[in-house]
Structures are given as structure tokens and as C-alpha cells.
Amino acid sequence: MHTRNKTLASRGPSTHAPAREQRAAAERMNQKRPSAHILASRRNGTLYIGVTSDLARRICQNRSNAVAGFVQDYGVHRLVFAEFHNTLEAVILREKRLKKWQRAWKLELIERHNPQWRDLYDELTI
């Protein structure tokens, strides 16, 4: 059994859920927990797989180009997938596995959880 799989796209607040359930989902997303995430430059564009213990802070850094590197060089700023884990060790292992995946598998993962490729950052900052 895996300790992961609290994905942002599939676990986000539903438009049909009561307000209390939506608030609880927003609180879970805002917690500082280890997460693996995928950023994209656009739909089917350049992908970046990363890991962090504070997803909102990391995405904010990436968007402001505060850290030089791949994300800044390729304009990869759209959060299209996020998955929360219980431990840093588990999330690092997941990141390594995702990085070894074929591109088609990564695209399938994104499509399954976020078919519109919407930017999930807005759901982080509710």
C-alpha cells in the first residue's frame, strides 16, 4: 500500500460539495507537506518534475524566477499535477520514479487528474 496519492487535481474542492468540505479540502492543500509536482510551460509543452515540503512557496519562487535554472530557462510555471506524501523519503522516491517514466506516461498522469491542464496554483492559495 502506498502512502501517497493525495493529488491536488483529484482531491480539490468540488463545486457540488458543501462549504465545510470545501474549506477542509483547501486546508489540506495549504498544509506544508512533502509533495511531488509537475509544472508545464503549456498544454503538452515542456515538463518539470520537482519535490518540495512547501508547494505554495516553491511555486511562488518559480513564478517570480527567484531561482535560476530549468524552470526559469524554459518558462515552466503552470502547476498541472501535485501529489502529497507523508514523508520526505516517500516523495523523493516518487519523484525519482516519475523522472524515469516515458513522456507519454507523464502526459497520461496529468490528463487523468487534470484533463483541462488548468493551473492548480489557484487551488493552493484558496
Per-residue pLDDT of the chain (126 residues), as tens digits, is 234 555 655 444 444 445 555 555 445 555 578 999 999 999 999 999 999 999 999 999 988 888 889 988 999 999 999 999 999 999 999 999 999 999 999 999 999 999 999 999 988 765
Establish if 38 belongs to a structural domain.
Answer: yes
Establish if 85 belongs to a structural domain.
Answer: yes
Taking a C-beta distance cutoff of 8 angstroms, is the pair 47, 40 a contact? yes
CATH no. for residue 33?
Answer: 3.40.1440.10
Domain boundaries, position 72? 6-124
Distance of CA 113 to CAs 8, 12, 75, 107, Å? 8, 10, 22, 10
Total domains, the chain = 1
Establish if 44 belongs to a structural domain.
Answer: yes
Q: Rounded to an integer, what distance in angstroms lies between the CA atom of residue 52 and that of residue 36?
A: 7
The position carrying cell 491536488 is 8
Establish if 1 belongs to a structural domain.
Answer: no
Q: Given the DSSP bridges, would you call strands 47-52 and 78-84 parallel, antiparallel or unpaired? A: unpaired
Q: Rounded to an integer, what distance in angstroms lies between the CA atom of residue 36 and that of residue 106?
A: 13
Q: What is the reported pTM?
A: 0.76
Establish if 99 belongs to a structural domain.
Answer: yes
